[in-house]
Chains A and B, each alone.
Chain A
Amino acid sequence: MADISANFLGIKSPNPFWLASAPPTDKKINVLRAYEAGWGGVVWKTLGSQVKNVSSRYSAVDYGGHRVMGFNNIELISDRPLDINLKEITEVVKLFPDRAMIVSLMADNNREAWHELIQKCEDAGAMGFELNFGCPHGMTERGMGAAVGQDPHIAKMVVEWVMEKATIPVITKLTPNVHSVVPTGRAAVEGGTNALSLINTIQSVTGIDLDTLVPNPYVAGKSVFGGYCGPAVKPIALKMLTTIAQDELTSRVPISGIGGISTWKDAVEFMLLGSTTVQVCTAAMKHGFRIVEDMCEGLNNWMDEKGYQTINDFIGKSVEKITHWEDLDINYHHIAKINQDKCIHCGLCYIACEDTSHQSINIAKGNPYNTYTIKEEECVGCNLCKLVCPVDACITMEEHRVAPEYINWKQWQERGLPLNDH
């Protein structure tokens, strides 16, 4: 059995699965249920000034009959009194001392407010902090959340205030509502943050009610941009994570990955791109805390299968595999192959290729089943047919190198090789 425990700047947890700062971590009752279910840690929902929430708060994007492919919310930070939150944190830590207890913070924009909040939370038993520089709605209008994270100078200043006071590890959470997360990430590291986490939610409109014409979520005839999360944002989160993991400065601190993680496979992908721990919210909100069982078991079985003893054996292993386009090997070429024994003759590969790609699939009309075959000389190896095929491993991509040696775009140009294939 592999060891799936995590050690994040000395904060230990039996597994790398934390619940992200969000409604599931707002109260003792939720967090106890999460720990009983097996979660490795939580980031307690953001504490700060007293706020008031609205109703409703959430909306979702469904796709192809599946609910909550994407999810958004317009909830603010914790709307419960600070002293209740602190008291419950103390109680939870006492009951589950082996789990990570990170507290998310968003104080008013002055040094004293931050210092006071930090002191209270450390006294309550917090093991680490996560600075909420990412919340994209509501709090930003008051100059907090993403308003901080979107300005590297302000972010650095606030991190510096925090580092003056904090005696436990500090994680800075980044907003994705920027053209690049790296400048703020760097600013936070320069300000002294011990770690980074990303991504927070993405500003969004999930949809509009076609009867009332009011976008979602609905609040008395109006709506507001909500923070988008869930499976739909995972690819964007992974990209942003990669830029942090590849940056010379930001890569020096550990990362807690966030963004649409629903399964152990998603978690492994975040870890392969540099996350030491991962944070989950939407999947738990959709299915409850029980999802952690398969996350632990799946990770364990995968690690055993691959021969990894600890999570450190594979964290970051895919970071260097994402490169610049101009470094890609132009001589690599693969061609689609349709396994006729597996083909169910749905024609999806054909119509996708014919209408939108490279007209590389032959159709031989039959009644009722047509036969589809690849025109090898036309196929550019784009993968589209394989992606739309509903049968697993029916279409495979077979390697047919143009030439054995590696050659990239820069070398191609330098050698004056022909550019036009057509």
Chain B
Amino acid sequence: MIQNNRLTTEQYGQNFSDIHPPFETEDAALVEANRCLFCYDAPCTKSCPTGINVPKFIKQITTENIKGSAHTIFSSNIMGAGCSKVCPVEKLCEGACVYNLMDETPIHIAKLQRYSTEIAMEKKWQLFDRKPSTGKKVAIVGAGPAGLSCAHTLSREGIDVTIYEKESKGGGLMTYGIAAYKVTPAFCEDEVNYITSIGGIDIKYNQELGKDITLEELQANYDAVYLAFGVGLARQLEIPGEDLNGVVDAISFIYELRTNNYSALAVGDKVAVIGMGMTAIDAATQAKRLGAKEVTLIYRRTQEEMPCTEHELNIAKLDGCNIIWLATPKEVIGVDARSDDPVGRGKVTQLICETMKLGDPDASGRRSPVPTGETIALDVDMVIKAAGQMPFEDMANINHLENRNGKLTVKEKTATNLKGVFAGGDCVNGGKEVVDAVQSGKDGAKAILNFIF
């Protein structure tokens, strides 16, 4: 049965507390920082999409120059605080740490980054100066990581930036799309405020492109436009029963979680989660932590091909989630159709999956799943779809933006086919990490500055 209020306040508090707690003391941070070898042309830096000078910021912790350390991080990545909590570091900086080659535990880079950036945010250090206003104006669509990163870079150069955000809060998927035990809504709000405290950045909330504003208006009223509206539409399974009561998409599920009290959120007794990306793991673990009795992740390939990291998979396993590899959903079965049911088709009772086997590698280089013809039936009362997100293809087409399946086409990383209109982040790459979006925001700002001046 799908119901809310399954746990006590204490249980919710415990289940959604920080999964990667910070260093408890300065000494603890120093011990870890002192382990860093201070590599030259460091593999960790090279593995960071924003190129944070990791050895330098860690060295600055050891010299008790925390202000310098935070400056080093934010200079490359203005969302360095949030990234320290949400980056899949085991496949980025920490995965490249040379200690891995010594069979030693890699430096806890994210934790150290969190240490410096949290102090900076707490003390509200203004680490960057904004140049005097140039009188030039740039409009940015979307106050997510790409938009904020672009805005901050532009503001430093004296540009007056206006961000149009369709939601009521900034931060984008950081605020609305990530498991609650990684970042809290309060942190996301602090981070947005910290970034915009440089001045020269005006965020207009509840302003959706195509509804409240048009691209033409922005082009007419600003010296340049940066599009960073992300992706958002959940990929449909396109199977019978998908419209039954109890089938939800992971993005909406996590969005609800991020915008409501935990106790208000309803979850099933037996939940199936389709997919094995980061969002699937987030949805599965959050469902379990909301009190679902049984959560099963279903993925059509094997662990070898899964998009999430091993670390994330382990979180799901430790939370007690079941995993079924090599299975793909075929049909959702329901009962109890009622007249007051909006879709009139009743509640989910079963998920039918077809078992798969691995065939030849596909375009992604991963071995593709091939149906075996055999099916299995899972008794479930809730199905969460986390099979990926789709770009806003209609929005691209309506605005005459060149795109491939909705992903905006850009030249030199940032320029769209429309003059003075630049784009970056998920709406271009189709959905990557926060840290990738931050870098594309920087690239966009650089291109815009070249265009304006």
A residues 52-70 touching B (CB-CB < 8 Å): 64-65
- Contact B62 A346, beta carbon cutoff 8 Å: no
- Contact A65 B34, beta carbon cutoff 8 Å: yes
Cα distance A348–B98 in the bound complex, in angstroms: 12
Cα distance A346–B41 in the bound complex, in angstroms: 8
Counting CB contacts under 8 A, is A350 at the interface?
yes
Residue among B40, B47, B98 with max Cβ neighbours from chain A (10 Å): B40
- Contact B40 A348, beta carbon cutoff 8 Å: yes
Cα distance A369–B46 in the bound complex, in angstroms: 9
Q: Which of B30, B40, B43, B98 contacts A65 (CB 8 A)?
A: B30
Q: Which of B30, B31, B43 contacts A345 (CB 8 A)?
A: B43
Cα distance A367–B41 in the bound complex, in angstroms: 10
**Residue of A with least CB distance to B31:** A65
- Contact A344 B102, beta carbon cutoff 8 Å: yes
Q: How far is the CB of A103 from chain B (nearest CB, A)?
A: 41
- Contact B102 A347, beta carbon cutoff 8 Å: no
Q: Which of A65, A370, A390 contacts B41 (CB 8 A)?
A: A370
Counting CB contacts under 8 A, is B127 at the interface?
no
Counting CB contacts under 8 A, is A404 at the interface?
no
Cα distance A344–B38 in the bound complex, in angstroms: 13
Counting CB contacts under 8 A, is B264 at the interface?
no
Knowing A344-B98, A345-B98, A347-B41 touch, does A64 contact B47 (C-beta < 8 A)?
no
Find chain A residues with CB under 8 A from B30 CB.
65
Q: Which of A64, A368, A391 contacts B96 (CB 8 A)?
A: A368
Interface size on A, residues (CB 8 A): 17
Q: How far is the CB of A372 from chain B (nearest CB, A)?
A: 10
Q: Which of B39, B43, B102 contacts A391 (CB 8 A)?
A: B102
Counting CB contacts under 8 A, is A219 at the interface?
no
**Residue of A with least CB distance to B104:** A344
Cα distance A368–B39 in the bound complex, in angstroms: 12
**Residue of B with least CB distance to A354:** B40
Cα distance A129–B147 in the bound complex, in angstroms: 78
What's the dominant secondary structure at chain B's contact region?
A: helix
Q: How far is the CB of B64 from chain A (nearest CB, A)?
A: 9
B residues 51-87 touching A (CB-CB < 8 Å): 62
Cα distance A370–B31 in the bound complex, in angstroms: 27
Counting CB contacts under 8 A, is B378 at the interface?
no
B residues 113-172 touching A (CB-CB < 8 Å): none
Q: Which of A344, A347, A351, A365 contacts B101 (CB 8 A)?
A: A344
Find chain B residues with CB under 8 A from A350 CB.
40
- Contact A347 B34, beta carbon cutoff 8 Å: no
**Residue of A with least CB distance to B98:** A344
Cα distance A208–B225 in the bound complex, in angstroms: 54
Find chain A residues with CB under 8 A from B99 CB.
344
- Contact B39 A65, beta carbon cutoff 8 Å: no
Find chain A residues with CB under 8 A from B33 CB.
65
A residues 320-356 touching B (CB-CB < 8 Å): 344-348, 350-351
Counting CB contacts under 8 A, is B377 at the interface?
no
Cα distance A390–B43 in the bound complex, in angstroms: 16
**Residue of A with least CB distance to B42:** A347
Find chain A residues with CB under 8 A from B43 CB.
345, 368-369
- Contact B39 A348, beta carbon cutoff 8 Å: yes
Contact with B along A365-387 (1 / 0, CB 8 A): 10111100000000000000000
Knowing A65-B31, A65-B62, A391-B102 touch, does A348 contact B38 (C-beta < 8 A)?
yes
Q: How far is the CB of B347 from chain A (nearest CB, A)?
A: 50
Cα distance A369–B40 in the bound complex, in angstroms: 11
Counting CB contacts under 8 A, is B343 at the interface?
no
Counting CB contacts under 8 A, is B37 at the interface?
yes
- Contact B37 A390, beta carbon cutoff 8 Å: yes
- Contact B101 A368, beta carbon cutoff 8 Å: no
Q: How far is the CB of A349 from chain B (nearest CB, A)?
A: 9
Q: How far is the CB of B33 from chain A (nearest CB, A)?
A: 8
What's the dominant secondary structure at chain A's contact region?
A: loop
Cα distance A65–B38 in the bound complex, in angstroms: 14
Find chain B residues with CB under 8 A from A390 CB.
37, 102
Contact with A along B19-43 (1 / 0, CB 8 A): 0000000000011011001111111
Residue among A344, A348, A369 with max Cβ neighbours from chain B (10 Å): A344
Cα distance A346–B97 in the bound complex, in angstroms: 9
Q: How far is the CB of A364 from chain B (nearest CB, A)?
A: 11
Q: How far is the CB of A73 from chain B (nearest CB, A)?
A: 25
**Residue of A with least CB distance to B64:** A210
Find chain B residues with CB under 8 A from A351 CB.
40-41
- Contact A346 B34, beta carbon cutoff 8 Å: no
Cα distance A347–B38 in the bound complex, in angstroms: 9
Find chain B residues with CB under 8 A from A64 CB.
34, 62
A residues 37-65 touching B (CB-CB < 8 Å): 64-65
Q: How far is the CB of A356 from chain B (nearest CB, A)?
A: 12
Find chain B residues with CB under 8 A from A365 CB.
41
Residue among B39, B42, B62, B99 with max Cβ neighbours from chain A (10 Å): B39
Knowing A65-B31, A65-B62 touch, does A346 contact B37 (C-beta < 8 A)?
yes
Residue among B37, B42, B62 with max Cβ neighbours from chain A (10 Å): B37
Contact with A along B88-103 (1 / 0, CB 8 A): 0000000010110110
Cα distance A279–B47 in the bound complex, in angstroms: 51
- Contact B31 A346, beta carbon cutoff 8 Å: no
Cα distance A350–B33 in the bound complex, in angstroms: 22
Cα distance A391–B99 in the bound complex, in angstroms: 10
Knowing A368-B96, A370-B41 touch, does A345 contact B46 (C-beta < 8 A)?
no
Find chain B residues with CB under 8 A from A347 CB.
39-42
Cα distance A345–B102 in the bound complex, in angstroms: 11
Find chain B residues with CB under 8 A from A368 CB.
43-44, 46-47, 96
Q: How far is the CB of A390 from chain B (nearest CB, A)?
A: 5
Q: Which of B37, B46, B47, B101 contacts A348 (CB 8 A)?
A: B37
Cα distance A344–B31 in the bound complex, in angstroms: 21
Find chain A residues with CB under 8 A from B42 CB.
346-347
Cα distance A64–B61 in the bound complex, in angstroms: 11
Find chain A residues with CB under 8 A from B34 CB.
64-65
A residues 256-309 touching B (CB-CB < 8 Å): none
**Residue of A with least CB distance to B45:** A368
Q: How far is the CB of B232 from chain A (nearest CB, A)?
A: 32
Find chain B residues with CB under 8 A from A363 CB.
41
Find chain B residues with CB under 8 A from A65 CB.
30-31, 33-34, 62
Q: How far is the CB of B191 from chain A (nearest CB, A)?
A: 28
Find chain A residues with CB under 8 A from B44 CB.
368
- Contact B40 A346, beta carbon cutoff 8 Å: yes
Find chain A residues with CB under 8 A from B40 CB.
346-348, 350-351
Find chain A residues with CB under 8 A from B98 CB.
344-346
Cα distance A159–B39 in the bound complex, in angstroms: 55
Find chain A residues with CB under 8 A from B62 CB.
64-65
Residue among B46, B62, B98 with max Cβ neighbours from chain A (10 Å): B98
Find chain A residues with CB under 8 A from B96 CB.
368-369
Find chain A residues with CB under 8 A from B31 CB.
65
Q: How far is the CB of B21 from chain A (nearest CB, A)?
A: 21
Q: List 20 A-B contacts (CB under 8 A).
A: A64-B62, A65-B30, A65-B31, A344-B98, A344-B99, A344-B102, A345-B39, A345-B101, A346-B37, A346-B40, A347-B39, A347-B40, A347-B42, A348-B37, A348-B38, A348-B39, A348-B40, A365-B41, A370-B41, A391-B102
**18 extra interchain contacts, Cβ-Cβ under 8 A, other than A345-B39, A348-B38, A363-B41?**
A64-B34, A65-B31, A65-B33, A65-B62, A345-B43, A345-B101, A346-B98, A347-B39, A347-B40, A348-B39, A351-B41, A365-B41, A368-B44, A368-B46, A369-B43, A370-B41, A390-B37, A390-B102
Q: Which 3 pairs from chain A and chain B are nearest by CB?
A: A65-B34, A347-B40, A368-B43
